Amino acid sequence: MTARTRIKICGLTRREDLDIAVTAGADAIGLVFYPKSPRYIDAPRAAQLITVLPPFVTTVGLFVNATAEEVRSIVEQVPVSLLQFHGDETAEQCAAIAQAVHRPFMRAVRMGSEMTGEDLLKYEQQYRAASSLFAGLLLDAFVEGYGGGGKVFDWSLIPKELAPRVVLSGGLSVQNATEAVLQVRPYAVDISSGVEQSKGIKDPAKIRDFIAAVRKADTIPGN
């Protein structure tokens, strides 16, 4: 029996999309609190959206270069259980904000071509040393606008020893989901544009097909 790859569906803005994601088996949902994103959701709408969330689904609040006060204001209105820092925040800034709002956090890494496996291992070590609230790295492609770009990066950059601790993100889709899981065997996968009809509007069939493709990979023994 292979491990069950966790699944995060990011950039949700509508209740019908959240219902579909949860029913299809998503383990986490991502709410983008970055005003410049086409998937941006404000705190009142986010709070309303997740009132229907059942237990055992992680709510991830996504921030880009937000201040501690901005994060605190959101967390006071929206019961997010995990923070995702997706901007240029330092380890110390992530640690301080996470500590201030008493939430664990993921650090998104924008995987430019110069990033090496060694760099990733050092990065993880640096964040673990900075905070006991550090929950892991989310590896995303390097795109303009910080994220949600629908672009894949070179998965071979991910050290085998690190793979079981990372969230693989960036340009995942129904078409490449099985291949991504079989090649990387990540702890989790994260997707946004690959399951959309348009930015911020998810596609029910793509969500269901993506989750099915990940589940199919989980049944295939291998590396």
Active site residues: 10, 140
From CA 109, how far away is CA 28, in angstroms rounded? 19
* Element of type H or E holding 16: helix 15-24
Q: Which stretch binds ligand LARABZUK (CB under 6 A): 116-124, 128-136, 153-161, 188-196?
A: 188-196
Q: Single out the residue of 42, 44, 92, 94 nearest to residue 64, CA to CA.
A: 94
Would you count residue 209 as binding ligand LARABZUK (CB under 6 A)?
Answer: no
Contact map string, positions 94 to 133, toward ligand LARABZUK, x by CB under 6 A: ----------------------------------------
Q: Single out the residue of 73, 59, 4 nearest to residue 29, CA to CA.
A: 59
- Nearer Cβ to ligand LARABZUK (150/204): 150
* Element of type H or E holding 169: none
* SS3 of residue 10 by DSSP: strand
Select from 50, 94, 190, 202 the one that contacts ligand LARABZUK (CB under 6 A). 190
Residues 45-74, interacting with ligand LARABZUK (CB under 6 A) = 62, 64
Residues 6+ apart with CB under 8 A from 153: 111, 139, 140, 141, 142, 170, 171
- Nearer Cβ to ligand LARABZUK (169/178): 169
Select from 107, 140, 158, 206 the one that contacts ligand LARABZUK (CB under 6 A). 140
